[in-house]
Chains A and B, each alone.
Chain A
Amino acid sequence: MVTSITSFGRSGLYDWLVQRITALVLGCYTVFLVVFFLSNPGLNFQDWTSLHAQLPVRIFSLMALFSLGAHCWIGLWSVSTDYIKPFGYRFLFQVVVGAAMFIYIVWGIQLLWGF
């Protein structure tokens, strides 16, 4: 068995499962936004903030945000283990991706709940 401490879940199966579930969440969230945009042709800032003032929308957005972070991390970790063979570069890439995801999530939370 190939053991690896840097994957997201505790196993390949969980990574695989997380990829599928997060993809589903992201898909639903995309559909939700597209529908919202189409049904509000003259969209202004007021409509936008009132949408995000509702608790269910905030939870949904947060879910999508976490999903994005997890999905990106697993995906890009895979990509890095495929294509970046020198350990140093691979590690650096993973640190950057990890940090970026962390920043996006914290920033996103601040945006969602901060106003």
Chain B
Amino acid sequence: MLNVSIYRYHPEQDEKPHMQDFQVDTSGKDLMVLDVLFSIKEQDSSVVFRRSCREGVCGSDGMNINGKNGLACITPLSSCVKKNKLVLRPLPGLPVVRDLVVDMGQFYKQYEKVKPYLLNDTPAPAIERLQTPQERAKLDGLYECILCACCSTACPSFWWNPDKFIGPAGLLQSYRFLADSRDTATQERLAELDDPFSVFRCHGIMNCVNVCPKGLNPTRAIGHIRNMLLDRAT
């Protein structure tokens, strides 16, 4: 029997959040954390969490698993459980809606701020815009982001200034468009980033790199943005 402790908060019933303990029979299998949550929901259908693809591509089930942010569906118990104890909390730093569900509004707002779409002021050709494999390779490690918010909610700079610091996820996407040979708005994009908060609150703590379930490296992308800003200003 695995001991699981889950953060519970119901806005209609609870004044304060509390932790609730459950026992789950894993039959000795190395289940994913999400499977454990399904077992718990069978015991108590009022336990609430988000889920969709259950294979680590949709980014719904980001949560804090034994102290580290990750996706419940691709985190096996063997990689996180110590002393037969699993503690599940919502992603830190965002308002809790209920139980493990957080309000992602602030996170999405920062994503939208970087204009995460291709801007090109030349007329579109009749076919695709050509791009060499080398130019395309610059987007690898950037476009794969699933917006699960594991990184931004592990970032102290984002905790302190979630309204002003874009955060690792948003900046990764910002660089994804700065690096795209088909995008022509590089200068406008950079001008939007040149303030003391948007990019420069990154202090290179690298929690984002540590937790990213897709193995991406936002810190490196932020470094590239900084170099582009430097290049533009000097």
Contacts and interface: CB of A to CB of B under 8 A. Distances in A.
Given A13-B230, A17-B230, A4 B160 contact: no
Interface residues of A, number: 16
A77 to B, nearest CB: 8
Contacts of B157: 82
Contact of A13 (B161, B192, B194, B197): B194
A81 B161 CA distance: 8
Contacts of A11: 194-196, 233
Nearest to B194: A11
B196 A83 contact: no
Nearest to A15: B196
A83 B161 CA distance: 9
B194 A12 contact: yes
Interface in B36-79: none
Given A81-B161, A83-B160, A4 B200 contact: no
Interface residues of B, number: 19
B161 A1 contact: no
B160 A13 contact: no
Nearest to B193: A1
B220 to A, nearest CB: 17
Interface in B207-234: 226, 229-230, 233
Contact of A1 (B194, B226, B230, B233): B194
A15 B200 contact: yes
A16 B193 CA distance: 13
B195 A2 contact: yes
Interface string A1-37: 1111001000111111100000000000000000000
Interface of A: 1-4, 7, 11-17, 78, 81-83
Given A1-B193, A13-B200, 10 more contacts: A1-B191, A2-B197, A3-B195, A4-B196, A12-B198, A12-B199, A13-B229, A15-B196, A78-B196, A82-B161
Nearest to B159: A82
A7 B200 CA distance: 12
A4 B198 CA distance: 11
Contacts of A7: 196
Contacts of B200: 12-13, 15-16
B160 A82 contact: yes
Q: Which of A7, A16, A83 neighbours the largest number of chain B CB atoms within 10 Å of its CB?
A: A16
A2 B164 contact: yes
Q: Which of B160, B196, B199 neighbours the largest number of chain A CB atoms within 10 Å of its CB?
A: B196
Contacts of B195: 1-4, 11-12
Contacts of B191: 1
A82 B200 CA distance: 13
Contacts of B201: 78
